[in-house]
Structure 1
Amino acid sequence: MYQTYSTKEKIKQIFVMLIPILITQFGMFSMVFFNTIMSGKYNSSDLAGVAIGSSIWNPIFTGLSGILLAVSPIAAQRFGEKKGREVSSILTHGIYLAVMIAVLVIILGFFLLNPLLTVMNLPGSVHETAHGYLVGLSYGIMPLFIFNVLRSFIYALGKTRVVMYILLLSLPVNLFLNYVLIFGNWGFPELGGAGAGYATSVTYYLIAGMTAAVIIKQQPFSQFVGLEHFKEFSGEKVKEILKIGVPMGLSIFFETSMFAVVTILISKFNITTIAAYQSALNIVSFLYMIPISISMAQTVLVGFEVGAGRYKDAKAYSWLGIYLAVIIAIVAGLLVVLFRYDVAALYSNEPAVIALTGQFLIYALFFMISDAIQVTALAALRGYKDVNISFIITLIAYWLICLPVGYLLAHFTPLGAPGYWIGLTTGLLAAGISLSWRLIHIQKRRYNEKLAKVV
């Protein structure tokens, strides 16, 4: 990363960071994409099982990895302040934290997974697939969380292409493993949807190993890595990551768990509705990788400028990210609505599922615009390390607006299941407006503080 002096330079800097992050995010999402599509081609029951399994795992993973993503804004600010030793310390303690969180998740999963699936009262085949899928995924939790720390560290230094190359190399392996383990090809066991979980876990080991090797051997990363740093465990450093990371993680958790709850509520409908909703959500989530990638670049760039004391540049990056995300959401949303049935056909061979998926996707345009605003405004606030109020805003928007509105529309109006999409859009829009207001407030406060120092 480097200091920029004009809007043109800033846009160029955003895209230099954004494109590799975007390809990386598409790579990460492609694993879920392969899981869903190939399970759907196996049969609808396995698609529903993978959907339920994903709806349980995604809030846990994204919420906890959100804690670890705090490594990015903290390290970016230290990098902007030219404090190399503290960058090393943040990386080391992020890895320690990743291991501790992974162990905790595995222990809790061992005791709670079966009771949770039993309470959901799923059809037998769906229950079995969801359980097998989650057990398969559990083997890859440790390398996945460590990879997220390593990736956040790499992003903090502005070197986003490295992770992109690693993900691109790993995708063919993931696709091959899905193919052989789901369908039992080439002498491998036929595991159905559960095979997708095992395929993904093996891939996580691969990407974590390759990322670690690059960091240890290549500059500028290797200067921040050394065994001596692992001998200096500090509770204060862990607390620093948790202080920023816990509100970040909770905000992400409340968003993803909201979608998970909607999936669970829709599971009370028939298998066709479950499969159609999951397919539509998968399509929108795939396109969501664009604003989430912009937000990752945003957090690092804003954090770097804040660390260097250049608040005017930090403000410019904040709003450029929001404008860019909204423009892309409008274009992508219109394309999804226009070609909704063609896209839906990628997920299923069953006409009923395709028709219902197309119906869900009619609401995609407004949903995507609202989501783009809230995710990029939230990311800019993280760059300022302003996370506590953001957490409260997202909690209210997701759980006191999205879910109640969606539930009322789905169960007390003729809309049925599509009512949940309107509820989700309403809550996300409320979050976007509130977070944008908070961002304006923080930027004014930082500007006034700088003026006061000058005086």
Structure 2
Amino acid sequence: MKTNLLSAPFQEEVKKTVSLAIPIIVAQLGSILMGVTDNIMVGHYLGKIGLGVAGIANSIAFVISSIGIGGLAVVAPLISKAKAERNIPEINRLFRAGLWVAFWFGLILGALGFLCIFFFDVFQQSAEINAKSPSFMGIIIISNVFTFLFLASKQLSDGLSRTYVAMIITILGLLFNFVFNAILIKGYLGFPALGLNGAAISTLCTKILMLAGILIYLFRAKTFKKYLSRRYNPLPVGDLIKHIFKIGVPSGLQFFFEIAAFSLAVIMMGWLGENQLAAHQIAINVASTTYMMASGLGVAGGIRVGEGRGLRNIQKIRMSGNVALIIVGAFMTLMMILMIMLKRFLIGLYISDVEVIEIAVRLMLIAAVFQLSDGIQVVALGILRGISDVNIPTWITMFAYWVVALPLGYFLGFPLKQDAVGIWIGLWAGLSMSAVLLTTRFYYLVNKMKKSEQFSVETAGA
């Protein structure tokens, strides 16, 4: 990876990547804060049962929706590629095809979600949680349809390097969700007190408003008018719907494998005891925040690589990949240092229980170490998505999390009696394996493009 860090092209690429990434990061943090707000308000107003219902229902719904969330992320790099090619009709077709894909993701994954509701007893929760969760989860699953449509819409603005659009709407959505929660849970301003379901309806209303907001902006702003002209409506989109599904489903499975693996790690922590589970939740909550920041860089890197792909410029593809990896490496190294230095302070924000703190301190040290691996692997996935390479990375993530991370974590945690630390060492090993293999894959494909007589990235995902 030869890169002159002082060269003007490198510094220009850094500026463009960072300017793209910051709004994406803010929007993703806004989405996290929306969930945090829900949990705080439900816990405050309705107590531990309400918090338990919201926690498990949201977790199950999120694991299911992760396939759609990851799958739709492939559209922005395709739009960035079409923009570099100055192919305005293709951008219009990609936008419309993305909306159709989002609709079908909503129906298919929604049906899977309602199947989970029908067999909710399999999750072995208490009788009260079993009774209250289905209606709450049903509303959340319906809201996911609007989430997918919003994500599909934001692919247009993100792919055209207008990432601030989704950021502003997400921040407004966060504020609306807070207000709707207060009104609907407790029944203020003449509204009926809907309790737990009020929080779910608040989420549904917020998602509908966010979708309406971004669509109104896209169709009214001058920046996007030429891409959304009605004269392109007769152009068919069936081929692009198939193509987005073809590369989107593997991309979604990459996200699913990681999310599901960490969800199973939570279950294993529960086998060890309440203290270990609480310590795990604290450490993973801190690590998840930095992960979302790194994933924003991954999205930005994918958009920049997609532009290089559209320009058929191997040097630009390599440069964009280099910059994204270097930035995330520097950022996550800083996060690692801060987590080591501030570990007791951060843990103290969550809990004062001495036993939990001592376990969490050990886990926080491992979380700090795997920051670098976690950041590199999520950015590597992003830049590979930029060249539409999704099939091999999907197998890599499945191998890293389900063949390395979980079995090793179980073996260290239980047979070798390393407890919670053993499970986290397994997670670190899986993340490191993923980081090494995915980064190697990217540079292998770039070198393959360079050596080929005719530059073609269409074969990269084979």
- Give the fraction of aligned pairs with identical amino acids, expressed as a percent: 26
2:64 corresponds in structure 1 to: 60
Residue type at the aligned position of 2:403: L
Alignment of 1:17-36 (within 5 A): 17-36=20-39
Alpha-carbon distance, 1:235 to partner: 2.5
| Cα shift readout 1:239-280 (whole Å, capped 9, x = no counterpart) | 111122122111111111111222233344555544443343
Q: How far apart are the structure 1 equivalents of 2:351 and 2:425?
A: 24
Larger deviation, residues 201-210 vs 143-152 = 201-210
Alignment of 1:18-417 (within 5 A): 18-39=21-42, 41=44, 43-115=47-119, 117-128=120-131, 130-181=133-184, 189=193, 191-192=195-196, 195-226=198-229, 229=232, 232-271=235-274, 273-347=276-350, 356-417=359-420
Residue type at the aligned position of 2:67: G
CA contact (8 A) 1:46 1:125 kept: no
| Cα shift readout 1:292-319 (whole Å, capped 9, x = no counterpart) | 0000100000100111112112101101
Q: How far apart are the structure 2 equivalents of 1:283 and 1:212?
A: 33
Residue type at the aligned position of 1:395: M
Larger deviation, residues 119-128 vs 73-82 = 119-128
**TM-score, structure 2 as length reference:** 0.88
Structure 2 residue matching 1:225: 3-state secondary structure: coil
CA contact (8 A) 1:50 1:129 kept: no
Consecutive unaligned residues in structure 1, runs of 5 or more: none
Consecutive unaligned residues in structure 2, runs of 5 or more: 1-6, 457-462
CA contact (8 A) 2:61 2:141 kept: no
Aligned length: 448
CA 1:67–1:40: 2 relative to 1, 3 Å: same
CA 1:338–1:171: 2 relative to 1, 3 Å: same
2:460 corresponds in structure 1 to: none
CA contact (8 A) 1:294 1:325 kept: yes
Alpha-carbon distance, 1:442 to partner: 0.6
Residue type at the aligned position of 2:401: Y
**TM-score, structure 1 as length reference:** 0.90
Alpha-carbon distance, 1:124 to partner: 3.0
Structure 2 residue matching 1:6: 3-state secondary structure: helix
CA contact (8 A) 1:75 1:87 kept: yes
Larger deviation, residues 102-111 vs 176-185 = 176-185
CA 1:282–1:197: 2 relative to 1, 3 Å: farther
2:459 corresponds in structure 1 to: none
Q: How far apart are the structure 1 equivalents of 2:325 and 2:181?
A: 36
RMSD: 2.7
